[in-house]
Structure 1
Amino acid sequence: MQPWALVTPASRGIGMELARRLLQTTNVPVVATARKDLDQTRENVLKGLDGVREDRLGVVKVDVLGQGLMVADEQSISDAAEQVSKWYPRKEAYLHLSLCVPGILFPEKAPSQINYDDALRTFQTNTLGPMMLIKHFSSLLPRKSATLSGEKGLPAQAVWMNMSARVGSISDNGLGGWYSYRASKAAVNQVTKTFDNYLRMSSGEKAMSISMHPGTVKTGLSKEFWGNVKEEKLFSTEYAADKLMEVINSRGIDDRGKFWDWKGEEVPP
């Protein structure tokens, strides 16, 4: 069976670099998602990747934000999963690696700064986005009866990775603030654990789910806080993608359902 990988979203930042890295370091097809400008996303992901077959990259529309403050556009996620399942039918292929990286941040230093609409959008993107992606794409992961192919550059078992953040750790919270972002990422870790319990039944040891903290990365999400981070702790998107994949590829089945940082150290819940 043909393994393939999913990176969502991949239009910029860490997601785009993860898609590029997979195209460079593996031989599997990669599905990238974007809210809009699919052709531009495709061009950006492939830019400068000499020797990479362009037909290995497929780009589909997925919108975890929806329009305005409405719920996430679940129909776009459902449509994308249906389209991809036609490219890679379950009888012939399986999802070996899903990198689910949506994220948005509205910092609140005090309760008075919490804005209802911003907080709603934070949960919509950071928590409901991954949840809806799991709903529609999880059936494409391998079942217990599947035979995994053992491709280079990929983990031994199929992995669904949800991007979290260290501030989502309740026991690690010594500073406070960032109410909606912290809460949404703590919820992501709960989603990861709950989904992994499901995979134990449906996939056995063939698939697992983990959460990951990428460190502070030079993206639009963290730009406002770059000045507060030591230079050696402020990562490029390329470096972050490399470290994330190093950790993912080194996780074993006993590491399932847990929350890991870019160094490969477990983050307490």
Structure 2
Amino acid sequence: MPATSRPWALVSPASRGIGLQLARRILQTTNVPVVATARKELDRTKGEILNGLKVDESRLDVLKVDMLDETTIESAASHCASKFPTKGDGAHHLHLAYIIPGLLFPEKSPRQIDASSALLTFQTNALGPLLMLKHFSPFLPKKNASFAEEDDAMKGLPKQAIMGLMSARVGSITDNTLGGWYSYRASKAAVNQITKTFDNFLRSTAGDAAMAVALHPGTVKTELSREFWGNVREEKLFEAEWVAERLVERLRRVLGVGERGRCWDWKGEEIPP
């Protein structure tokens, strides 16, 4: 990859909650172009991401992506290929990505499992990210790529390119002492496996230039967790903006190639598979 390659970032989806705040945080703390995605209301999403920020609005693109529709993922990737070519003069590479869809149907017993809901959970939480990797992994840097830390284009970015996938503590088989949430737990365990498998692929194609990790944000005040807020101690229930700050800092400052392919929480502690 040419030394002049320029970084860009991706947040998908970014229409609300953690994703919206991640897009805002990256715009505030870096100089890179940011691609955010939403299923609908792209203009509204763009306005909410930019609301109150003193940044160059041209740095943000909002593209349509529906995790249940691969054609939208492919179309978004094609748009990025045109805007961020990976070869030639002015080449670009994807340096920071958060793939973070989430859907939860809280089955407390096996009798509550609904086949269509469970399938939708897997399609959203696991298959969607897998298809995102299929179409967006070609934008990651190749082996032997190097990034100058003093380069202004690299301000606020991690040393290596990182693809972060949203997991959850309940996706850990080792940590599962309570049971329940069958389809959600299984889909997030699948995310951990996808992350590890994809990172093994990056070891051969990118070496130390790019890696993948899974992330656990904690219990966040979003629509996904709204009905469970009353069961969570106040000090364990986080605002999306606060979590986004920590997830960005987690990838920027702490992670190194020795921590690749694993699942980390917002505090920087590893969650066992």
TM range (shorter): over 0.9
Corresponding residue number in structure 1 for 2:12: 8
Q: Which secondary structure does the structure 2 equivalent of 1:58 belong to?
A: strand
Asked if residue 241 in structure 1 is aligned to residue 244 in structure 2, the reply is: yes
Q: Which secondary structure does the structure 1 equivalent of 2:96 belong to?
A: strand
- Give 1:145 deviation, angstroms: 3.9
Q: Alpha-carbon deviations, 1:69-89, whole Å to 9, x = none?
A: xxx210110010010111110
Corresponding residue number in structure 1 for 2:143: 144
> For residues 164 and 47 of structure 2, what CA distance do their matches in structure 1 show?
25
Amino acid in structure 1 at the alignment position of 2:249: E
| Ranges in structure 1 where 5+ consecutive residues have no aligned partner | 65-71
> For residues 148 and 105 of structure 2, what CA distance do their matches in structure 1 show?
42
- Give TM-score, length-normalised by structure 1: 0.96
Q: Residues 46-57 of structure 1 correspond to what in structure 2 (within 5 A)?
A: 46-50=50-54, 52-57=55-60
> For residues 152 and 252 of structure 1, what CA distance do their matches in structure 2 show?
17
Q: Residues 17-56 of structure 1 correspond to what in structure 2 (within 5 A)?
A: 17-50=21-54, 52-56=55-59
Residue of 181, 200, 211 corresponding to 1:197: 200
Corresponding residue number in structure 1 for 2:77: 81
Residue of 260, 264, 269 corresponding to 2:268: 264
> For residues 258 and 152 of structure 1, what CA distance do their matches in structure 2 show?
25
How many residues are aligned here?
261
| Ranges in structure 2 where 5+ consecutive residues have no aligned partner | none
> For residues 59 and 141 of structure 1, what CA distance do their matches in structure 2 show?
20
Residue of 163, 173, 187 corresponding to 1:170: 173
- Give 1:148 deviation, angstroms: 2.4
- Give 1:97 deviation, angstroms: 0.6
- Give 1:10 deviation, angstroms: 0.4
Asked if residue 184 in structure 1 is aligned to residue 184 in structure 2, the reply is: no
Amino acid in structure 2 at the alignment position of 1:10: A
Corresponding residue number in structure 2 for 1:156: 159
Amino acid in structure 2 at the alignment position of 1:78: E
Amino acid in structure 1 at the alignment position of 2:132: L
> For residues 57 and 36 of structure 1, what CA distance do their matches in structure 2 show?
16
Amino acid in structure 1 at the alignment position of 2:166: M
Compute the RMSD of aligned alpha carbons: 0.7
Q: Which secondary structure does the structure 1 equivalent of 2:270 belong to?
A: coil
Asked if residue 99 in structure 1 is aligned to residue 98 in structure 2, the reply is: yes
Q: Which secondary structure does the structure 1 equivalent of 2:223 belong to?
A: coil
Runs of 4+ deviating beyond 3 Å = none
Amino acid in structure 1 at the alignment position of 2:76: A
- Give TM-score, length-normalised by structure 2: 0.94
> For residues 80 and 126 of structure 1, what CA distance do their matches in structure 2 show?
19
